[in-house]
Amino acid sequence: MSSLPATNYAREQMVSQQIRAWDVLDDTILDLLRRLPREHFVPAAYRDTAYADLPLPLGHGQHMLSPSIVGRIIQAVTVKPGQTLLEVGTGSGFLSACFSLQGAIVSSIEIHADIAAQARINLSAAGISNVALTHGDATELLASAPPHDVIVVTASLPVYDPSYEAALRPGGRLFVVVGTGAAMDARLIQLDAQGQRQEQSLFETVLDPLLNARPANPFHF
């Protein structure tokens, strides 16, 4: 069997057995994940496990999001073509590429220079040229960022930080994972046209902590 059919088979297994099995049922999302070559975004040492449902190491204690988490994030934030999306934590660039292929205007911030540089290479290898990638600390850059339709934080916060929500336009959506240890809650915050908010708990997961995130208050009253 040639490598291309084997890769296509692994990609289909990823979609049907990992992503769809975790309640990602939107066919447009599933088709997107069938088309995008995830192997272009995986570090060379882990290429044989590109389609396993695992968080693969990227260096600095950071990990590439597992395919099932990627599918749930994309489904949760429902990006429309032409909407602006800010991604906090570029990682491998795979999620950035997914949003770009959905027609979003994607800006992504990565704190580690070498991870950001590799993400640029990965995006180029996959034919993605319209992601604006910045090397920097999102906790410092967020205050000067323009409002966005969607914000996705790909690392966990120990406590909820309303500054991300404040950077949304009316009608915007924020995906964020909050908690520490094994008790992390993936949340979707949605604003209506008047800026009124709704918050939904989506699922439990564990993600790498966001560097320089607002610390949890150690005092309890």
Q: Per residue in 61-112, pLDDT tens?
A: 999 999 999 999 999 999 999 999 999 999 999 999 999 999 999 999 999 9
Confirm whether pTM is higher than 0.85: yes
- Evaluate whether 178 touches 157 at the Cβ level (below 8 Å): yes
Residue-level pLDDT at 215: 87
The residue segments making up the domain with residue 185 are 57-205
Question: Which tokens hold the place of 217?
Answer: 């208050």
Number of domains comprising the chain: 1
Residue 178 φ/ψ region, left for φ over 0, alpha for ψ in the -120 to 50 degree band, beta for the rest: beta
CB burial class (10 A; 0-12, 13-18, 19+) of residue 134?
middle
Residue 115: its H or E element: helix 113-125
Tell me, what's the pLDDT at 214?
85
Predicted pLDDT at 2: 40
Q: For CA atoms 106, 112, 113, 115, give the dihedral sign.
A: negative
Q: Residue written as tokens 């909050």?
A: 178
The answer to whether residue 175 is domain-embedded is: yes
Convert 52-103 into a string of H (helix), E (strand) and C (coil). CCCCEEEECCEEECCHHHHHHHHHHHCCCCCCEEEEECCCCCHHHHHHHHCC
CATH number at residue 169: 3.40.50.150
Residue 140 located in a structural domain:
yes
Q: How many C-beta atoms lie closer than 10 Å to residue 204's C-beta? A: 12
N- to C-terminal Cα distance for the chain?
Answer: 64
Name residues of the chain where pLDDT drops below 50: 1-4, 219-221
Please indicate, yes or no, if residue 162 is contained in any of the structural domains.
yes
Tell me if 22 is assigned to some domain.
Answer: no
Residue spans of beta strands (DSSP E) within the chain = 56-59, 62-64, 84-88, 105-110, 131-135, 148-157, 168-180, 183-191, 197-205
Token pair in block for residue 64: 């590439």
**The pair of three-digit structure tokens given for residue 205, joined into one six-digit string:** 């997961």
